Chains A and B, each alone.
Chain A
């Protein structure tokens, strides 16, 4: 066969185009055969991509694992490209990001794809995790598949955090500060831990270098290795069948039942069950590339100069819930929770397949599992939305940037107007809103006179209380008088100001 083709080529004879095409295909097939004989590609392909899966696993619910992997591949590709230009040096990283954004042709696009793909990777991973949990996929015999997934969860979040640090801007600098402050709360070994994290006693040149090493070598290497294990486990113990209520997992019979299921309904993953993964991966890629092209890259925000303190550091989207939790937890629980919650949380996730390794798989027969997932989702979503608004943070420029609403100064006496000035000049607005503008750290001052009498207002201002600092040393008596006079005018027209019953009885 091959000799015949060679002789034809030597003779320089040409057949009809149809036959020539067939000849080219045959030549390609021969090359494939040659490689297969040596590498064993076909057998490898049949035992991996072509492995048998239950037909029920060809479901839209089963696409999120491969979707996460697609994001990871995008991250590796774009990450390698970005590393060609990025400078992992504290002195130059920020400038090299500006260069990528504005000078390097298409640098902005690759940065945008890398950033958006990381967001999608965290999202896909979260959905994948919720899905395998709700489908009982962590139960016997897939305990290790689940546990390796937990390691991948930690690795992916590690990539998200270290990646945010490599975007070496103000948020990265103070994000490191937060990381160090958390580490510093560890008893006994807090200080050495801080130094290990930062590569020295302070955030500086060594800090960025070690986060670069983590982000580019250590964690991706770990992820590659664990993804291999994760997939090896999927091949070895099989993909979870679409669970049905009333068919609990029993250690004694499950393997046999699964084998039987494969015999009855098994199809090769490629080409019979891959169609939905493929379609979803395509849609996902369009979503990532579309977001990247439309919204562009993330940051960098201001340069990582710690002396530029007019900044309000915020973590990336997927850590906002944690940022919010740290503002809302009772302070006395913080150190304890910061140090134990991650350990306990990860420990519980790892222990899950051993706590409930058998029994019902279907979410329809596991109401607690459903409630648990919904509760976690609602908690994370509410904390994230609070993190976006961060009502606990003073609005630093409200005192100078938010004018007193006109209706609050109209028809006021000179003393009351002086009080309105005190409200602005003493930066009350940073924490107290007026007319809907200002901080939300304390209660809004519109209608404060309906809640507090004059004496109560003065006491609260001078002595503080609750969240409010005491201003006794900061205000002159005349200022206090003016302030109280102004605040007393803040009540709705149809609601009288609060009055002290004793004063009222005395006719005051």
Chain B
């Protein structure tokens, strides 16, 4: 009698703790996986007046990440390369090399983007000129509204997903 009550209590204890564990365990899992669900976050970002950019030139532009927390600091400032072609055609490239994400630099004289990490080189239109990059530079979606240039951004481009 006594022993069967004890064995019931033992099982009941395990059951209670199991329920409690899932009540905290599942929220913890959800909390940890929360960043995964922010994938759809993207926003249109103004990059200044169209006429800030000279035709035929490539210039460094920067914008504030549209999704920030107050403690982002300098990391909220995101750079990108803006190229204006005749006829108000804009190409906006992410700063990140498609090989491993290092910041590519534009060289006006040779008309090339060069990466300081593993020697990736791209032409002015973002296509690969040399080195290990597996694809052309990531391009932002662009739009011109009321004489202003807008791009769609908000995430770090990788081979899985562009900007």
Contacts and interface: CB of A to CB of B under 8 A. Distances in A.
B91 interface: no
Given A180-B101, A469-B129, A426 B109 contact: yes
A89 interface: yes
Contacts of A326: 99-100, 118, 132
A199 B112 CA distance: 33
A311 B65 contact: no
Nearest to B155: A201
A174 B102 contact: yes
Given A198-B35, A306-B77, A396-B105, A327 B132 contact: yes
Nearest to A324: B118
B147 to A, nearest CB: 24
Contacts of B39: 191-192, 195, 201
A257 to B, nearest CB: 45
A194 B159 CA distance: 10
A206 to B, nearest CB: 7
A442 to B, nearest CB: 9
Interface stretch (B4-12, B17-25, B48-56, B67-75): B67-75
Contact count band on B: 35 or more
Interface string A14-41: 0000000000000000000000000000
Q: Chain B's interface: helix, strand, loop or mixed, by majority?
A: loop
Interface string A455-488: 0000000001001111101100000000000000
A300 to B, nearest CB: 13
B101 A181 contact: yes
Nearest to A428: B110
A352 interface: no
Interface in A325-344: 326-327, 329, 331, 334-335
Given A91-B73, A184-B159, A307-B74, 19 more contacts: A94-B74, A174-B117, A181-B99, A181-B100, A199-B35, A201-B38, A203-B75, A205-B75, A303-B74, A304-B75, A309-B79, A309-B104, A309-B105, A392-B119, A394-B119, A426-B109, A428-B110, A467-B131, A471-B111
A202 interface: yes
Interface in B108-163: 109-112, 114-119, 121, 123, 129-134, 154-156, 158-161
16 contacts: A89-B73, A91-B74, A177-B100, A178-B117, A181-B100, A184-B161, A191-B158, A201-B38, A205-B71, A306-B75, A311-B116, A313-B117, A326-B100, A427-B112, A428-B110, A469-B129
A200 B100 contact: no
B127 to A, nearest CB: 10
Interface in A228-246: none
Where chain A touches its partner, the secondary structure class is loop
Interface string A205-220: 1110000000000000
B110 A186 contact: no
A185 B111 contact: no
A305 B71 contact: no
A313 B123 CA distance: 22
B76 interface: yes
Contacts of A202: 65, 67, 78, 154-156
Nearest to A210: B35
B29 interface: no
B112 A182 contact: no
A205 B73 contact: yes
A331 B99 CA distance: 9
Contacts of A329: 132
A463 B70 CA distance: 50
A441 interface: yes
Contacts of A464: 129-130
Nearest to A425: B109
Contacts of B38: 195, 200-201
A92 interface: yes
A423 to B, nearest CB: 10
B76 A204 contact: yes
B39, B68, B74, B112 — most chain A CB neighbours (10 Å)? B74
A190 interface: yes
B96 interface: yes
Nearest to A209: B71
B95 A309 contact: yes
B28 interface: no
Contact of B160 (A184, A309, A441, A471): A184
B103 interface: yes
A173 interface: yes
B107 interface: yes
A310 interface: yes
A311 B159 contact: no
Contacts of B65: 202, 204
Interface in A74-96: 89-92, 94
A399 B110 CA distance: 10
B58 to A, nearest CB: 13
A290 B127 CA distance: 50
A474 B75 CA distance: 35
B72 A90 contact: yes
A430 interface: yes
B33 interface: yes
A182 B129 CA distance: 22
B88 interface: no
